[in-house]
Amino acid sequence: MAASLSPTARTTLHRSKERGRSAREDLYAILDSGVICHLGVVVDGAPMVVPTGYGRLGDTLYLHGSTGARSLRGALEDEICVTVTHLDGIVLARSIFHHSVNYRSAMIYGRARRVTDPDERLAGLRALSEQLAPGQWDTVRPPTRKELAATEVLALSLAEASVKARQGPPGDELEDYALPIWAGVLPVRMSWGEPEPDPELSERLRTPAHVAARPPLGSLPQKI
Ligand SMILES: Cc1cc2nc3c(=O)[nH]c(=O)nc-3n(C[C@H](O)[C@H](O)[C@H](O)COP(=O)(O)OP(=O)(O)OC[C@H]3O[C@@H](n4cnc5c(N)ncnc54)[C@H](O)[C@@H]3O)c2cc1C
């Protein structure tokens, strides 16, 4: 796929266009440093936005869930929109009007495809698992036939996507800079806590390194 995001009529930014990013690498960076996405679908004629997991392989995003999930059924009937958002800071301005947030976000539009090929289904599920908990797939019991049969896997092309990001201090009105009001950015960081072993866990089992020493996720705003 082209190295840049080629805007379509619906991925062309109208507001704050200067915050748009056109490099496909920026899209990958946002997706790869996220944990959940929001899936927007139309179900029975009404919009439904569902927080859910995802995984990326190349230029395909994978979503999964129960075969009974209404959102996934709806996703196969019409166009969908998926967003991934990183909140990097609260921007505190001298006027309430100019308060803002620093962020990196991606929006992807398209038609989802039901994944039926067994190898692609497993690869998609593995990508989902790696996104949520890197290293787990290879250390836990693999899915059974029955579990796989109960799982829907959808694929969404990253062909039609947009990226937007804000960084930096507030942009106040010139005359407001002289006001005796504190202004700046309160950064937001996501960090992992101390692992909490399952009370049912044998005392002999140590927390694996990929859990105990998981690198901070999205902890630093990336320069995109
Ligand atoms: C955490 C967070 C909080 C925000 N809070 C506000 C708020 O309170 N009020 C507000 O007006 N805006 C807010 N924004 C910005 C908001 O996401 C939109 O960018 C903005 O509202 C412009 O919307 P629009 O309807 O005019 O879109 P348009 O500019 O018309 O959108 C056209 C196309 O641009 C792309 N696009 C638009 N926004 C984004 C985005 N954020 N990320 C990736 N692609 C995008 C999409 O492809 C979209 O179809 C926030 C963003 C984030 C990440």
Structural domain that includes position 59: 17-173+181-193+200-210
Burial of 37 (0-12, 13-18, 19+ CB in 10 A): buried
- Identify the pLDDT of residue 216: 83
CA 185 / ligand 1 centre spacing (Å): 20
With respect to residue 149, please indicate whether it lies within any of the assigned structural domains.
yes
Per-residue buried b or exposed e for 78-89, using 16+ beta carbons within 10 Å of the residue's own CB: eebbbbbbbbbb
Determine which helix (DSSP H) or strand (DSSP E) holds 148, and give its type and residue range: helix 145-149
8 Å CB contact between 89 and 169: no
With respect to residue 122, please indicate whether it lies within any of the assigned structural domains.
yes
CA 70 / ligand 1 centre spacing (Å): 26
The model's pLDDT over 184-204, given as tens digits with 9 standing for 90+, comes to: 999 998 899 999 999 999 999
pLDDT in tens, the chain (224 residues): 778 998 999 999 999 999 999 999 999 999 999 999 999 999 999 999 999 999 999 999 999 999 999 999 999 999 999 999 999 999 999 999 999 999 999 999 999 999 999 999 999 999 999 999 999 999 999 999 999 999 999 999 999 999 999 999 999 999 999 999 999 999 998 899 999 999 999 999 999 999 999 988 764 445 54
With respect to residue 145, please indicate whether it lies within any of the assigned structural domains.
yes
With respect to residue 43, please indicate whether it lies within any of the assigned structural domains.
yes
- The rounded distance, in Å, linking the Cα atoms of 99 and 135 is 40
Q: Number of C-alpha atoms within 13 angstroms, CB side, residue 29?
A: 18
- CA-CA-CA-CA torsion for 95, 96, 101, 105, nearest 10 degrees? -120
CA 129 / ligand 1 centre spacing (Å): 29
With respect to residue 26, please indicate whether it lies within any of the assigned structural domains.
yes
Domain count, the chain: 1
User: Could you tell me the CATH number of the domain that includes residue 37?
Assistant: 2.30.110.10
Any atom of ligand 1 within 6 Å of the Cβ of 84: no
User: Considering the entire predicted model, what is its pTM?
Assistant: 0.95
